[in-house]
Amino acid sequence: MSTNREDSFAISPPTAAFLRLVETAARDCRDNTISAQEKPVTKLDFTNSCADVQKEFIRTYQEKILPGSSTAAVFDPNKIESWWIPEAFAITEGSFRIPPLATAVMVPLVKDGNPTIEYCNSRGVTSSIDWTIGSVIYLAGDSSLKSDGGGNASFIFLLFRMK
């Protein structure tokens, strides 16, 4: 599994099987993503197809992260203390925080318009996120994610409390 690593986030490209599941979830969320107007985020329905993506994430990505890998530097499954119920959101404009001692995993579903999505780490360093549909984005906690408002982008959001 190839991973691009930046300061405190990592991005893994989708496998063919994972991308097919994401495309189904994206179709289910597309209309609500386009019509989202709450700022910075709108909670979307977590459909059965979103649950299928979550299950495949665990099977294809989470269970195969190797200790010492660049992905494990951001998201080490051996350090998971607890997790929150997965959700689907659309980000319109503005930012939201990822709490300290947490790691967020995002799976982009839909990109409507041309929003710029940026990640700001705990040291205030900002990086543009390549919002490729179906990729798996690992974000270290004590950080934020923001959109410039150039459109809407939806994603499946998994949040883990880390040891």
Q: 1 falls in which pLDDT band (50, 70, 90)? A: very low
CB distance 109 to 29 below 8 Å: yes
Non-local (6+) Cβ contacts of 158 within 8 A are 54, 57, 83, 84, 86, 104, 105, 106
Instruction: Say if residue 157 is exposed, middle or buried (CB neighbours under 10 Å; 0-12, 13-18, 19+).
Output: buried
What integer is the mean pLDDT of 14-27?
96
Q: Which of 111, 141, 145 is nearest to 128 (CA)?
A: 145
What pLDDT is attached to residue 120? 94
Rg, the chain, Cα only:
14
pLDDT in tens, 123-137: 899 999 989 999 999
Task: Dig out the tokens for 4 from the structure.
Answer: 């691009």
pLDDT of residue 2: 45
Least confident of 51-55, 69-73, 79-83, 113-117: 69-73
Confidence of residue 68 (pLDDT cuts 50, 70, 90): confident
pLDDT at 5: 44
Q: What percent of the chain has pLDDT over 90?
A: 84
Position 89, amino acid: F
Q: What pLDDT is stored for residue 7 in this prediction? A: 55
Tokens matching residue 43:
């909670």
pLDDT in tens, 92-144: 999 999 999 999 999 999 999 999 999 999 989 999 998 999 999 999 999 99
d(CA 25, CA 27): 5
Q: What is the mean pLDDT of the chain?
A: 92
Q: What is the DSSP string of 95-134?
A: EEEE-TTEEEEEEEEEEEE---EEEE-TTS-EEE----TT
pLDDT at 70: 85
